[in-house]
Amino acid sequence: MPQETNYSNPVFTSPCKNIRGLKSLVSNNEASLYTEEIFNDFELAHRKAEEAAARRYQAAEWLRRMDYGATETLPKEPSEEEFRLALRNGLILCNVLNKVNPGAVLKVVENPIIAVQATEGAAQSAIQYFENMRNFLVAVKDMQLLTFEASDMEKGGSSNKVVDCILCLKGYYEWKQAGGIGVWRYGGTVKITSFPTRSSSLVGSESADDSFDESESSQYEQLLEFLHLSNEISIEESKTANALAFLFDRFGLRLLQAYLRESNGIEEFPLNAMVIDTLLSKVVKDFSAMLVSQGSQLGLFLKKVLKGEVGSLSKSDFMEAISQYLGRKASLVPGDFSKDCICGGKREILQHAISPSPDHADQIDRLQKQLQELKLRYQETKGEVRQIQLNWEEELGRLEHYIKNLEVASSSYQKVLEENRVLYNQVQDLKGTIRVYCRVRPFLPGQSNGQSTIDYIGENGNIMVANPFKQGKDARKMFLFNKVFGPKVSQEQIYIDTQPLIRSVLDGFNVCIFAYGQTGSGKTYTMSGPDLTTEETWGVNYRALRDLFQLSKTKVDFIRYEVGVQMIEIYNEQVRDLLVSDGSNRRYPFSNFTFHEHL
């Protein structure tokens, strides 16, 4: 290549196909960074073009296989233009689509005349052209596959989109052929079938490329080889994942089928979410166990191979052994397993004709054993499911019975509660609507030497008071109360007689408790108590309020109580509000202090 070539825009001025030539040219000429960048872009564009061509060939090959008519109009390795021209009348696409999905395009125009350059009769041919193409695109869209625009078929349109659509259709078709089980997907690794290895064009230029660096070349080739290999591995991985998914689905569904078939005879045997969940979790467990056992078998096999019968093996021997093993395995796998869907990928069905060997027989034995184990596990699973079912039914029966009892109990409970309430208030009424109690205050500290005038306190409310200043029958007087409390009676004992009235308050009865007596006789002590910080010494007021709130809390679900409190003093026939805080002791209206549940 001449030194004075203008490199300002080598990509556009010379669409060179020879990468090495261009690379060498650039390096010989002390290329600037800019030139290097252009080179990289060119290389990328070249790679992409090759990939696109490979995919196009793949699409064309499939169309030719699917539609006999396509072999005449569509070349095996078409250029972009040839590809577009062959497909633009939509006939091949419609025919293929109808094979993939019968009846997808109801009306196919058989002889559409596409006037590529013509102007005459253009209207008629345009209608036919649009009819096939439109029908195809609508049907593909309905199937929710990748699609393209009609304009992509025109010059300047994106044939990549058309290729994508065809490969997607191919993937869908292969998936369908494989039984339509498992997840179908488009977009798996696309294999680059034609890779820039030592092609004839490259070889041809080598002689002219004297300055080409051999080590760089081998690195470059190694890189390509590596990419090629990684691509192969991706495809294998994708295939394996699909095969595994397919195997799992098949395993699970077969088990389910068998289960349903077996349970056909049993009357009212339910098919519900629980049964499916239980069965699937069992399938997952069994499948995992199978994989683990398969893994350990493979591990044993590889270790055995590695040791070898005659000492250690070389790497290549080891690889050879792996290939042989895979070949044997592939022959054991049923045909439809290898039909896993990798849309756009290359399907390689390994079909080595292998004569039966002892290893073969071992494999078959092992598979049969696994089959037996599976059958056994299936029976176990079936039994477990049935048992769970019975347990549940029993549990449900018990629950139903329990709920019915509860219903009955709750309806009679309300009735009893109401009766109880009425009776309770009747008892309170019978005890007397006005009850008078007498409490005898003990001597205060310092009064201990004093002589008590209380002579006798009876059980039934009698109290005898002695008057030392009088003689005869006037010396003693007997008084009768509902009850008399002696000087040693505690605050709690005093309250016990008052407590039932609090419940009546909550049932809507009016209750009034008040203390009466001369100064220092113990009214405040009885009603409030001497020390508010100790519950034990609380008087009637505090105890009554505590009970009021506790009782109202127990009924909070159906009644909401609001409690109001007033504190008044009647002294010298004057009524004073004790809750006013400004010290005015105003008479009316009184402050009404409302307590809420936080009290």
Choose one: 15-23, 80-88, 436-444, 580-588; the region binding ligand ATP (CB under 6 A): 436-444
Closest distance to ligand ATP from the beta carbon of 539 (Å): 9
Considering beta carbons, is residue 363 or 528 the nearer one to ligand ATP? 528
CA neighbor of 435 nearest in space, from 380, 489, 485 = 485
303 annotated ligand-binding residue = no
Closest distance to ligand ATP from the beta carbon of 490 (Å): 9
524 annotated ligand-binding residue = yes
Sheet of 462-466: strand order equals 454-457, 462-466, 476-480
User: Token digits for 466?
Assistant: 């002695």
Considering beta carbons, is residue 317 or 569 the nearer one to ligand ATP? 569
Question: What CA–CA distance (Å, rounded) separates 296 from 475?
Answer: 113
Distance of alpha carbon 571 from its chain centroid, rounded? 75
Closest distance to ligand ATP from the beta carbon of 520 (Å): 4
Q: Which of residues 283-302 bind ligand ATP (CB under 6 A)?
A: none
Question: What CA–CA distance (Å, rounded) separates 174 from 250?
Answer: 17
Considering beta carbons, is residue 108 or 568 the nearer one to ligand ATP? 568
Interface residue with ligand ATP, options 47, 161, 441, 483 (CB under 6 A): 441
90 annotated ligand-binding residue = no
19 near 198, Cβ under 8 Å?
Answer: no
Q: Which of residues 499-518 bind ligand ATP (CB under 6 A)?
A: 517
* CA angle (62 as vertex; 56, 66 as ends), nearest 5: 145
Classify the phi-psi angles of 149: left when phi > 0, otherwise alpha if psi is within -120 to 50, otherwise beta. beta
520 annotated ligand-binding residue = yes
Question: What CA–CA distance (Å, rounded) separates 323 from 300?
Answer: 17
Considering beta carbons, is residue 345 or 539 the nearer one to ligand ATP? 539
Closest distance to ligand ATP from the beta carbon of 574 (Å): 14
485 near 440, Cβ under 8 Å?
Answer: yes
* CA angle (187 as vertex; 184, 190 as ends), nearest 5: 125
- Which H or E element spans position 455? strand 454-457
143 near 101, Cβ under 8 Å?
Answer: yes
Nearest residue by C-beta to ligand ATP?
Answer: 522
Q: What is the DSSP track for 283-303?
A: HHHHHHHHHHHHHHHHHHHHH
Closest distance to ligand ATP from the beta carbon of 492 (Å): 12
Q: Collapsing DSSP states into helix, strand and coil, what is residue 466?
A: strand
Question: What CA–CA distance (Å, rounded) separates 96 from 136?
Answer: 10
518 annotated ligand-binding residue = yes
Q: In whole angstroms, how far apart are CA 267 and each of 34, 226, 372?
A: 81, 62, 28
Which string of x and - marks every residue 515-554 that binds ligand ATP (by CB under 6 A)? --x-xxxxxxx----x------------------------
Q: Which of residues 337-376 bind ligand ATP (CB under 6 A)?
A: none
Closest distance to ligand ATP from the beta carbon of 478 (Å): 22
311 annotated ligand-binding residue = no
Considering beta carbons, is residue 312 or 572 the nearer one to ligand ATP? 572
Q: Which of residues 131-190 bind ligand ATP (CB under 6 A)?
A: none
Q: What is the DSSP track for 516-561?
A: --STTSSHHHHHT-S-TT-GGG--HHHHHHHHHHHHHHHTTTT---
Considering beta carbons, is residue 228 or 441 the nearer one to ligand ATP? 441
CA neighbor of 57 nearest in space, from 203, 170, 188, 178 = 170
Q: What is the DSSP track for 328-344?
A: HHHHHS-GGGGG---TT
521 annotated ligand-binding residue = yes
Query: Does residue number 312 form part of the binding site for ligand ATP (CB under 6 A)?
Result: no
User: Token digits for 147?
Assistant: 């699609």
CA neighbor of 31 nearest in space, from 68, 5, 13 = 5
Choose one: 155-163, 274-282, 439-447, 562-570; the region binding ligand ATP (CB under 6 A): 439-447
Choose one: 211-219, 326-334, 338-346, 437-445; the region binding ligand ATP (CB under 6 A): 437-445
Question: What CA–CA distance (Å, rounded) separates 411 from 403?
Answer: 12
Query: Does residue number 444 form part of the binding site for ligand ATP (CB under 6 A)?
Result: yes
Peptide bond preceding 358 in cis form (omega within 30 of 0): no
Considering beta carbons, is residue 62 or 485 the nearer one to ligand ATP? 485
56 near 83, Cβ under 8 Å?
Answer: yes
Interface residue with ligand ATP, options 121, 442, 458, 486 (CB under 6 A): 442
Considering beta carbons, is residue 49 or 575 the nearer one to ligand ATP? 575
Query: Does residue number 332 form part of the binding site for ligand ATP (CB under 6 A)?
Result: no
Considering beta carbons, is residue 180 or 442 the nearer one to ligand ATP? 442
Considering beta carbons, is residue 387 or 524 the nearer one to ligand ATP? 524
Q: How many residues bind ligand ATP (CB under 6 A)?
A: 12
Considering beta carbons, is residue 363 or 537 the nearer one to ligand ATP? 537
Known binding residues are 517-524
Known binding residues for ATP are 517-524
Site residues, ligand ATP (CB under 6 A): 441-442, 444, 517, 519-525, 530
